[in-house]
Structure 1
Amino acid sequence: MGNVVMKLKVMPTGVDVDLEAIKEKIQAAAPENVEIRDVGIQPIAFGLKALVVAAVMPDEGNVGDEFAEKIQQIEGVESVEIESVELL
């Protein structure tokens, strides 16, 4: 098996949530076999912004789903959506 790049959209609970703090917690929550390549901020509407996370991980088991669940448990995160998964 190879590696995949997974793109996740992380929505905060509101406009007053500190996205930099969530970004740091996402990087800390990443399992050993997941490499965070990029975390960007995407404007949504009315001042609300989302984090877009690009992570490289092995194409095996439920690594991506488990990572998304860990992010979902971070305080200040409303939802996590897997936008794309591409084979490297």
Structure 2
Amino acid sequence: MGEVAATIKIMPVSVETDLEALKDNLIAALPEGAEYGTHKEEPIAFGLKAIIMVVIVGDLEGGTESVEQAFAAVEGVESVMVTEVGRPV
């Protein structure tokens, strides 16, 4: 089985959300078989920032689905969207 790097955009519920704590909670919520790669913050509008996180998962069909569900269940997450999937560098 190969691996793919999934870039996932996580939107917090509000501007007041502590992004550092949210990032730590997202990493802790990663399901078995998924591995944290890297992250950055991306300004959206009016002080709101998204977390852009790269997660390494297996290249099976539906490989990011368990990660998306785990991230969506984390307190402080408004939405989760996979923006890119490709081979890890």
Q: What is the TM-score with the length of structure 1 in the denominator?
A: 0.92
- Aligned position for 1:29: 29
Aligned residue pairs total: 88
C-alpha separation between the residues in 2 aligned to 1:17 and 1:61?
33
- One-letter amino acid matched to 1:64: T
- Aligned position for 1:57: 57
Task: Return the offset for 1:35.
Answer: 1.1
C-alpha separation between the residues in 1 aligned to 2:57 and 2:66?
11
Task: Return the offset for 1:66.
Answer: 1.0
The unaligned stretches of length 5 or more in structure 2 are none
- One-letter amino acid matched to 2:2: G
- Aligned position for 1:20: 20
- One-letter amino acid matched to 1:7: T
Task: Return the offset for 1:62.
Answer: 2.8
Identity %: 38
Task: Return the offset for 1:61.
Answer: 4.2
Q: Once superposed, which parts of structure 1, at least 4 consecutive aligned residues long, lie more than 2 Å away? A: none
- Aligned position for 1:7: 7
CA RMSD of aligned residues (A): 1.1
**SS of aligned partner of 2:64:** helix
Q: What is the TM-score with the length of structure 2 in the denominator?
A: 0.91
- One-letter amino acid matched to 1:55: V
